[in-house]
Each structure stands twice: as C-alpha cells, then as structure tokens.
Amino acid sequence: MPTIAHISDLHFGKEDPPVAEALLADLGARAPRLVAVSGDLTQRARAREFRAARAFLDNLPGAVLVVPGNHDVPLWDVVSRFARPLHNYRRYLTPELAPFFHQEDLAVMGVNTARSWTFKNGRISWAQIEQIRDRFAPLPERVFKVLVTHHPFIPSPGDPDPAVVGRGFHALQAAEAAGVDLLLAGHLHLGFSGDVRAHHLSIRRSMLVAQAGTAISLRTRDEPNTYNWITFEPPHLTIEVRGWGGGAFATLSMTRWSSTAGNGRRSRPDRLSHFDWRPTRVRSRL
Ligand SMILES: [Fe+2]
Ligand SMILES: [Fe+2]
C-alpha cells in the first residue's frame, strides 16, 4: 500500500527548530514509503540554509524525492540568480531536477517550476511537459502516478491571486493523457485538496490535487504548520492533514476520496475518465 508523506515549504533560515524536530519524530514513527518535498527548502537560497536542509533530509525515513521552489533561487544576488540559479540547490541537495521514483505500484515524478526571471511565480517548459508524457505513459494502469511541483495547478479557495503555475493547463493535458492520478504542490502555505476538473472543464480525467501547508517554517498563514499523509488503498485515497499542536504533530483533518467509476478497477488504459474521484468521508478539526 503506497504511503506518501508530502511536506513542503520548509524555509530553512526561517524554520522553527522544535517543529522541525517534531516532524522528523512523527515521520520516523510513521515510516512512509516516500517523502515528497515540494520546494522552498530555504528562505534565501544561502549555503548555510541548504546545509541545514541537507541535514534535515538526511534524517528523513525511507526514500526522499525533492523539487526546488522559488525561494531556492537567489533573490538579491542577481548574477547568481541568472547565471547559476540552482547552484546551491544542486550542490547541497541534489543535481537531479527531474527526479523519478518508481517502486512496484507507485511512480512519482518531480518537475522544477522555479525560474530566475520571476521570483514568485513558476512555469513548466515544453520539454518538461514532454518528459511528463515520456515518464508516465509507458507505465501500466495499476501503477499510481503522482506528479510533484512547487507551484500549484489550482488556486486556493477564495484566493484573489491564484499564482498557479505557468503553462499549467498544457501540463495537465499531458498528465491526463499519461494517466496521472495525483498532483502534489506547495508555495501557497495553505493546505487544501480538490479535483482539477473543477477548475479546468476540458480536462476529463479525474486528477486529485493535494496542496501542503508549510511544514516547519515561521511563515504560516492563518493555519498551523502542517503536512499531508497520503495513503492509497484502491479504491480509496486518504489525505490526512497532520498539524503542529504545540508539542507534537497530530491529525487535524482527514479526507477520503473513493473512485466510483468501474468499482475502483482500472480497465482500459485509453479510458481517460475511468478513475472518478469522489470525497466520501471528511473529518476535520481545522
Ligand atoms: Fe514558500
Ligand atoms: Fe514558493
């Protein structure tokens, strides 16, 4: 059964050390198959911040997949920002900017959406869109396919400044054709989940989105530090929001999505809407 811990926006340099320690303890006790880190590992892309992020990643349990965020590109050092924007990220964290994890029934791909010329907003290139197709399309239908970016594909509820990723619609079309099931992102420092079809009427395949809040940084927005604990047990997918409660992480809400089409069985690979997600049970303390 695939279990993914989805953490985001760590912002080392503005992190809260007791929260970071508690998160490591929580993840260590839960032992996910994969920890997906959706960007903004540092506050200002400084070497010492990346070294702290490296030490944190080294203490995570199991496999780790990480993508950069806009804060991992230098802001004030304009030469570095344009000449070697992800130099420190690649030096201290990983040289891989299109990480791919495939183990049995789980395949996860990371896409770098951070760009030098726009500090806040992100973008996906045509080459990256092609890569999404190449990675996922050949995999069998039974494999649960997850795409990880820093910038979101859908806006947060009620946000006047959606800040969704540039060229995101084209990437969604590729993800739909390649059979992607779930999209993980951060950047907004707000946790929520939904279906992309609610925002893109021409997308027919049901693809879920899980946005993670900030896991350990002091840059919270009206909600505590949180991360997503995701469990996929066909035909159910559960997104559990684990939040900092002042002493430890605890479950704040749980949303269970169930596939209704085909009784949860995936049949013909060319049938785009075969996996039709519906929320069946919601428990919340947020
Ligand atoms: Fe952030
Ligand atoms: Fe960000």
Please state the φ and ψ torsions of residue 141, each to the nearest 5 degrees. -60, -30
What pLDDT is attached to residue 274?
A: 38
pLDDT range class, residue 271, cuts 50, 70, 90: very low
Q: What is the pTM for the complete model shown? A: 0.91
Q: Which of 52-56, 82-86, 97-101 has the lowest average pLDDT?
A: 82-86
Ligand closest to the CA atom of residue 217: 1
Counting ligands in written order, the one closest to the CA of 121 is: 2
Selected residue with higher pLDDT from 76 and 205: 205
The rounded distance, in Å, linking the Cα atoms of 143 and 172 is 18
Coil, helix or strand for 49? helix
Distance 107 CA to ligand 1 centre (A): 25
Residue 219 backbone phi and psi in degrees, to 5: -85, 55
d(CA 244, CA 248): 6
Q: Which CATH number does 3-284 carry?
A: 3.60.21.10
Q: Percent of the chain having pLDDT more than 90?
A: 65
> What's the whole-number average pLDDT of the chain?
88
Q: Report helix angle 168-178 to 126-136, nearest 10.
A: 10
What is the pLDDT at residue 235? 82
How far is the centre of ligand 2, averaged over its atoms, from the C-alpha of 68 (Å)? 9
Distance of CA 167 from the midpoint of ligand 1 (Å)? 20
Give the model confidence (pLDDT) of 117-162 as tens digits: 776 789 999 999 999 999 999 999 889 999 999 999 998 887 756 6
Contact 12, 55 (CB under 8 A): no
Taking only the tens place, the pLDDT of each residue in 33-46 is 999 999 999 999 99
Angle at 201 between CA 196 and CA 203, to 5 degrees: 60
E strand residue ranges, 68-216: 100-103, 106-110, 144-148, 182-185, 192-195, 208-211
- For ligand 2, the distance from its centroid to the CA atom of residue 91, given in whole angstroms, is 20
CA pair distance 171, 198, nearest whole angstrom = 16
What confidence score (pLDDT) does residue 115 get? Answer: 85
Per residue in 187-197, pLDDT tens? 999 999 989 98
Give distance in angstroms: CA of 235 to centre of ligand 2: 32
Angle at alpha carbon of residue 175, lines to 97 and 264, rounded to 5°: 125
Three-class DSSP category at 61: coil
What are the residue boundaries of the structural domains of the chain, listed by start? 3-284
Kind and range of the H or E run holding 5: strand 3-7
